[in-house]
Chains A and B, each alone.
Chain A
Amino acid sequence: MKLRGGSALRLASAKAWLHRGTFALLVGAAFALMVLGKADTPLIERARVTVVDALSPIMEGLARPIASVRQLYENARDFWSLREQNATLKAEQERLLQWQGVARQLQAENDALRDLLKLVPEPNATFVTARVVADNGGAFVRTLLVTAGLREGVRKGSAAMTGEGLVGRVAEVGEHSARVLLLSDINSRIPVAIERTRDQAIMAGDNSDNPRLLYLPHGIALVPGDRIVTSTAGGAFPPGLPIGIVRSIDDGVATVQLFVEWDRLEYLRLVDYKLPGVLQSGAGKLQ
């Protein structure tokens, strides 16, 4: 009896050791994953793409009812402010008609000048619109998952836009899903230009809603409210996509107020500008 109790105890302690060993192994594996993730190997990318492709139908199924409830609520709210909205829209339409005239005139002038200069025409951009099914704009990362992938013609490095401006770029593409790295993520580095002065800088995210401007030229006089647009440096984006305005300048650190409204992202336009960007490995072969 005594012996049996002893062996049971030994068995229990052996089990505890086994548990502890498994646990240590798993913690070690988690650290190994961190290193692997940092190294950005194709293996990890493939694993990400596989998991997201497998889960995106589930997420889309769950997201639909939420979207319709929200739509109902917005419809009801809009109904109450119809008269007011109508007046605003009429005023805006008048103003936009004026701008349309100006735009047509400039387009004609631009065409004429291009003709004079024999400028090489840029390839036409193609785009797809995709629903946002997962938002990881949380504590540690800023990425989105959308329901369009290789099958729909999305390419790695495509620009993700809303009506307001640039949101981020496509970091990984699966068969029917893609992951968008947002401008506010700490891994996001975007070549930008200050529209007024044409000075170049890099806009870097730090997980807050307001990315910072790095590598600004010396002696540049930024003013809060200056518009920030994309620049062609690095070949990642066409010039002039709207990004945001300068929000504040403290001790030489300028932060940017982005045009995009984070809590209203439902659909994204993924635009492939067919640029030989630094992101698309083997892009030359594809074209």
Chain B
Amino acid sequence: MTFSLFNRLDNWARNLSPFALTLLMLIIGTMPLHLPYFVPLGTGLAMISVYYWAIHRPGLLPAPAVFAIGLIGDLMGAAPLGVGTLLLLLVYAIALSQRRLFFGQPFLVVWWGFMMTGAGAMSLGWILSSIVGGGALDPRPTIFAYLMTLALYPALGDLFARAQRSFLRSA
């Protein structure tokens, strides 16, 4: 009885890991690292995580969970309220609908998919933030954040793949 309860708890915790990792990415992305030329990437890092899990384990990161993460990020101030939430939902929807195209493909194809999805999401984010802010934002920080997110994808993708192998092998 206790064993099965522990089993269930263990399973539950493992299944929660995509959500927890995405939330962790969001928090790490807003931390002041004080590195020269580095801009905080709160929503960007969460975007990588959402893209990865939508392709590899969409069942463990349902749309309401993505919404919750986006909302927490927006309330923390990573993006104007609602904008970050919408971007994450958009990335999720694109990745999920093109899942068959990307699943089991070589890494470069998946990365290329993220390049396209991210470009669309960041442009939309720029447009929406400008509308909400009531004036055109300087596009340079957005482009810079996009390029940096793109550059971080291989490292984080690898990290998530490792996490998937070690936590979710049996699940």
A interface residues (Cβ-Cβ under 8 A, vs B):
19, 22-23, 26-27, 29-38, 44, 47-48, 51-52, 55, 58-59, 62-63, 66, 70, 132-141, 143-145, 179, 186-187, 206-208, 263-266
Contacts and interface: CB of A to CB of B under 8 A. Distances in A.
SS of A interface (majority): helix
A34 B125 CA distance: 12
B101 interface: no
Nearest to A31: B82
B136 interface: yes
B81 A34 contact: yes
Interface in B38-67: 38-44, 63-64, 66-67
Interface stretch (B8-16, B138-146, B151-159): B138-146
B71 to A, nearest CB: 7
Contact of B75 (A26, A51, A206): A51
Nearest to A210: B138
Nearest to A26: B67
Contacts, number: 169
B9 to A, nearest CB: 22
A138 B86 contact: no
B121 to A, nearest CB: 11
A125 B77 CA distance: 28
B82 A141 contact: no
25 contacts: A29-B85, A30-B67, A30-B82, A31-B82, A33-B82, A34-B81, A34-B82, A34-B132, A37-B132, A51-B75, A134-B27, A136-B77, A138-B42, A138-B141, A139-B79, A139-B141, A139-B146, A140-B137, A140-B142, A141-B80, A179-B77, A206-B135, A206-B137, A207-B133, A208-B138
A34 B31 contact: no
B128 A34 contact: yes
A135 B145 CA distance: 14
